[in-house]
Amino acid sequence: MIGWNFALLVCELEISQGNRDRAKRLNVVLCEFGELILREEDGVLREWLASLGGRAVLARPDHVVFGVAADDDGVGALFDQLEAWIEA
């Protein structure tokens, strides 16, 4: 499903259209978990993110965490960091 791309795992957070567009442009796979989308049965992702104070995590292709965001603005900041990292 994710392949060798960055992945943004989102748990019960509304992502703006601007950040959705940026995800596509950056080839970031968006995986949204919630009651009406992908349903997480055991709550492990939600609990892990909550322990970090976040609701979204950006994972690198090697499955290492690139960063965590608490809200849509934080997701935008992660994308800013990713763009800077790609251009470096």
pTM, to two decimals? 0.85
Domain ranges of the chain: 7-87
Q: pLDDT grade, residue 73 (50/70/90)?
A: very high
Q: How is residue 71 annotated by DSSP?
A: S
* Domain 7-87 top-level CATH class: alpha beta
Pairing status of strand 29-33 against strand 7-11:
parallel
pLDDT, tens only, 16-32: 999 999 999 999 999 88
**Neighbour tally for 30: CB within 10 Å:** 15
Rounded to whole angstroms, the maximal C-alpha distance in the chain is 39
pLDDT, tens only, 46-65: 788 888 889 999 999 998 99
